[in-house]
Structure 1
Amino acid sequence: MGDEEEAKASVEIWRYALGFAEMAAVKCAIELKIPEAVENQTSQPVTLADLSSAVGFPPPLLRRIMRFLAHQGIFKAVPTKDGATGYTNTPLSRRMMITNRDDKSMAHMILLSSNPVAVASYLKLSSAVVSGKGFQPFEAAHGKDAWAYAAEDPGYRETFNEAMACDTRRVVPAVTNTCADIFDGVSTVVDVGCGTGEAMGMVVKAFPWIKAFNFDLPHVMAGASEFEGVENVAGDMFGLIPRADAVFIKWILHDWSDEDCVKILKRSREAVPKEKGKVIIVEAVVEQKKEDDDDDKLEYARLLLDVVMMAQMKNGRERNMEEWDHLLTEAGFVRHEVRDINDLQSVIIAYVS
């Protein structure tokens, strides 16, 4: 066993030594719209010459990028009739289409993770671990927290908003399909921290009887989209949240400390009716023991997301079920349940009564 572990380690270590180069290659493919170029060619598999012509870049470096991405299984290398190497898309490469705004594309999330602004904070992570509480990698790298930076940098703000929107397009359909019953008897929903506002557009489309509200800070709402059946409202979630039968809050609480989460949850509880009110939370739940191998792979992503939060947010973190129990109890909810949607995130429904 020792020799086997040593042999495995001698190979695996290269993933960490050269991992940033893999991210760079993927980022390159997204920015050059290589998956789109492959998809749009009528003749398949796509030769290097045709691909080069489609993306408008010379073949030599493109060939090396494609060789690596095909080796990783992102694209599929297929022999052409002439015996040359051609390329086809895979389900993975299609998830890297930046022009594809369906519920599978993760291109904008990848561009956020590989953005130099985000990467700079990762490089300060060891200082945060050494210093303990009080040291924030993003602030150390940029002189201000992530929210202040995004407010002042339109380019980074757009990258961040697009990444959150692509997650919304991916996960909200899973919520409405898998947990449709939680919207039974619900006439109004408010999305707290709505960002671009797409989530409520999807909810209203799935459940047309619902009147929805998008709720976020004024500068965020200024750029929010308009959707039929959805009203945009500016405000502060630490202040007064618009009243509704249900509060929807996705990927917001993991940005904040326990103390701030309790404040947000209390405001959310106050916004819904005592008789039938509920708060629908879409967040990761780490350290859940499951037998499913696919979920074990998702746990890898959840734990990586926790590292991202450590680098990006002053008090951000992913939480286990015991920690969620504590927050919801402190916020005054009488009961809650967790729904698995076969995703990085779960749905936590907190009830007022």
Structure 2
Amino acid sequence: MEADQSVLRGQAEIWKYMLSFADSMALRCAVELRIADIIHSHGGPITLSQIVSSFPADDYSSSPDITCLARIMRLLIRRNIFTAAAHRSNGEDHALYGLTDSSRWLLHDSELSLGPMLLVLTHSWLMAPWHRFSQCVKEGGIAFIKAHGRDVWQFMSENSDFNKLFNDGTECSAKIVLKTIISEYKSVFDDVTSLWTLVVGREGQSLSS
């Protein structure tokens, strides 16, 4: 019996890894639709209908599928990206969707946002190299080059859309890292007025001397 349970746990683990990509794709959908921003702009939890009604009309050639959105939100709620609370109004039951500490990192207009980094990391251009791992093991080489026929820097120089996407992603992550460094090691920067001061030292002497 214990052996059977062990085999089933192993199967469950494989299923978990096979389907883990769904979390990333659902999260990407939320960022593309700016769901966190919509909830934030209302100042509190709102219904699915209110979310959908806030979508820019020019972005859609037909009515949004609220049932599809409900399924995506259900997954993101289970992953603690959003919250849902039962609410009754006008004799009908509704769910009110709110933000969590995680979804606040997806706000586009926030000074510190991970939205741009999520969009670049889950884009098909950067997902394609992951499908070349077995080829890299067999032949050696770099996965991005095998997927796109050029390295990432050349690809960016030839593709302005990817260049902007990549730069936006790295910019947002750099802001977060820099803010953390300054916050945790504030005393190191007390007398620093420029990067040059940090590199050559306060008295004009190299820090390595």
Per the normalisation by structure 1, the TM-score is 0.51
1:7, distance to aligned residue in structure 2 (A): 4.0
1:78, distance to aligned residue in structure 2 (A): 0.8
Deviations 1:6-53 (A, max 9, x none): 4433323222212222221111110000111111224x4311111111
Residue in structure 2 matching 1:211, options 190, 194, 202: 194
Deviations 1:40-80 (A, max 9, x none): 224x4311111111125331211111111112211111101
Match of 1:87 in 2: 97
Per the normalisation by structure 2, the TM-score is 0.83
Q: SS at the partner of 2:88?
A: coil
Which ranges of structure 2 fall in alignment gaps of 5 or more residues? 57-63
Paired AA for residue 51 in structure 1: I
1:153, distance to aligned residue in structure 2 (A): 0.8
Match of 1:50 in 2: 50
Aligned 8 A contact 1:45 1:80 in 2 = no
Paired AA for residue 63 in structure 1: A
Aligned 8 A contact 2:197 2:204 in 1 = no
Q: For 2:88 and 2:45, how far apart are their aligned partners in 1?
A: 9
Paired AA for residue 151 in structure 1: S
The structure with more helix, counted as a fraction of residues: 2
Residue 112 in structure 1 maps to residue 64 in structure 2:
no
Q: SS at the partner of 1:79?
A: strand
Residue in structure 1 matching 2:173, options 167, 170, 181: 167
Aligned 8 A contact 1:101 1:166 in 2 = no
Residue in structure 1 matching 2:77, options 61, 70, 83: 70
Q: For 1:61 and 1:110, how far apart are their aligned partners in 2?
A: 21
1:211, distance to aligned residue in structure 2 (A): 3.1
Q: SS at the partner of 2:106?
A: coil
Residue 127 in structure 1 maps to residue 155 in structure 2:
no
Q: For 2:100 and 2:69, how far apart are their aligned partners in 1?
A: 18
The structure with more strand, counted as a fraction of residues: 1
Residue in structure 1 matching 2:198, options 246, 249, 261: 246
| Aligned positions of 1:1-353 closer than 5 A | 5-42=6-43, 44-55=44-55, 57-82=64-89, 83-97=93-107, 99-103=108-112, 105-132=113-140, 135-186=141-192, 210-212=193-195, 244-247=196-199, 272=200, 276-278=205-207, 352-353=208-209
Aligned 8 A contact 2:157 2:163 in 1 = yes
Which ranges of structure 1 fall in alignment gaps of 5 or more residues? 187-209, 213-243, 248-271, 279-351
Paired AA for residue 174 in structure 2: T
RMSD: 2.3
Task: Tell me the percent identity.
Answer: 28
Match of 1:217 in 2: none
Match of 2:59 in 1: none
Paired AA for residue 157 in structure 1: N
Decide whether aligned partners of structure 1 residues 145 and 245 sit closer, same or farther in structure 2, where only a CA change above 3 A counts: same
Deviations 1:135-170 (A, max 9, x none): 111111111110111111111111111111111221
Aligned residues: 197
